[in-house]
Amino acid sequence: MAGIAYVLFCGLIFYITRNISRVELKVKYKKAKSILFGVHGSLIFAGAFFAISCWSAIYLGSSFRQVGQALSEVGLLGYLLVIGKMYGGVAILVNYRCVIERSEVFPRSLALALIALSFSVNTQAAIDVILAAGAFVACTHSFRRKLPVSRRLVKKASLILAPILVLAVFIAGKSNKIGFEETMYIVTDIDLLAENFVTRLGYHFYSVSTHVTENMFNFTLSFEAIREVFSVLLFRFGSLVGMSVERPELGTIARMNFMQFSGFYVDRIGTSPSMLGSIFYFPGAGIAIVYYTYFIRFIIYLFWRIMGELQNSWLFTILAILVMTAAVDSSLDALNPLSVGFMRILFLILGGNYIMRRFSNTSNLVMQQRASNLRNIDRKNAHK
């Protein structure tokens, strides 16, 4: 009950602050945006990502982060692969926005095809399946538009394929943790399959509820979390340059969250605290929602910039929600510039600014057209 009350309280805070004007965060280094997300940069980095994915699939396998070597133990290749996946998730949305705006369609589609192959050859997590599917759909956009098939029929067909995609996501994510054979045994038993889905979704709810009950005013938790984040920064820097640095006992916020609630010890396992559960690792514990909501608004605004008015299909809505959730989950980790969270937010900022600069005129025209349509509707209603 306390967890539900806190979620409603967070919703109220977000509603109150949503009308407060935003402070624009403009990146002045135009070259950084163009190098990463310009047409030539997109092709180069997509090609590099594909090469790294193939290389790591051969030498590391697909599940080294779950059951094999840790990221810190595989050296530069592991870091490059993770950075490539962070870039790829944002690049899918940026390149697809360019494709649907009919800007540099062929090279952008080629970059998307390379990204789709990159996620396909080295699937390490459930989200990789969604990203691969999204990149494949995006790269075939111009081809699909030429097919003599109605858009309504295409939407219906895509909804029929949705359960298959969900099942593929489950198999990919579970196989990397417990093995393919055991995963297929779960899939063939509908009761076990439903139980696993409910259990996976329950992690977030349980995390928030327990934090509200036990850590609402635990102000020391944030100091421990910040100390661990900077310990990981030192450790990863040492791993990159060849220094001998002791590996942190906990390291990530997800690992801390697992140790907070589990009654047993398993090495290198973490539990996502969720978007709201992450609040309790910031200074201020549960009260941190008062300023944490601005960070959430900032991330949502970045996605709104990149997605625009046209990326409104169910697949890309889910893809954007998953990438956005990953950006705000365990967000204190982003204080570490060598972390996954930091790189994802950096790419989001650069991608959002690139799209805003590239299509600012288009966005303004769309908004003006929408306002004009609303005025026409009001006039018609007034005459009735």
The 10s digit of each residue's pLDDT in 138-158 is 888 888 777 776 667 767 776
Give pLDDT, residue 65: 52
Residue 276 sits at the vertex; the CA angle it makes with 273 and 278, to the nearest 5 degrees, is 45
Give pLDDT, residue 171: 77
Q: Please indicate, yes or no, if residue 22 is contained in any of the structural domains.
A: no
CA–CA gap between residue 93 and residue 354 (Å, rounded): 12
Q: Please indicate, yes or no, if residue 19 is contained in any of the structural domains.
A: no
Task: Decide: 239 and 169 in contact? Cβ < 8 Å.
Answer: no
Give pLDDT, residue 254: 78
Residues of the chain with pLDDT under 50: 64, 363-365, 367-368, 370-371, 374, 381-382, 384
Q: Please indicate, yes or no, if residue 106 is contained in any of the structural domains.
A: yes
Q: Please indicate, yes or no, if residue 21 is contained in any of the structural domains.
A: no
Q: What are 273's two structure tokens?
A: 């605290």
Q: Please indicate, yes or no, if residue 17 is contained in any of the structural domains.
A: no
> pTM value?
0.79
- For residues 22-54, one letter each, b for 16 or more C-beta atoms within 10 angstroms of the residue's C-beta and e for the rest, the string is eeeeeeeeeebbbebbbbebbbebbeebbebbe
Q: Please indicate, yes or no, if residue 219 is contained in any of the structural domains.
A: yes
Give pLDDT, residue 48: 92
Q: Please indicate, yes or no, if residue 318 is contained in any of the structural domains.
A: yes
Q: How do residues 283-293 score in pLDDT, each as one tens digit?
A: 888 888 888 88
Give pLDDT, residue 114: 93
| Domain count across the chain | 1
Give pLDDT, residue 312: 66
Q: Please indicate, yes or no, if residue 276 is contained in any of the structural domains.
A: yes
CA–CA gap between residue 113 and residue 115 (Å, rounded): 5
Q: Provide the domain limits for residue 196.
A: 2-12+27-383
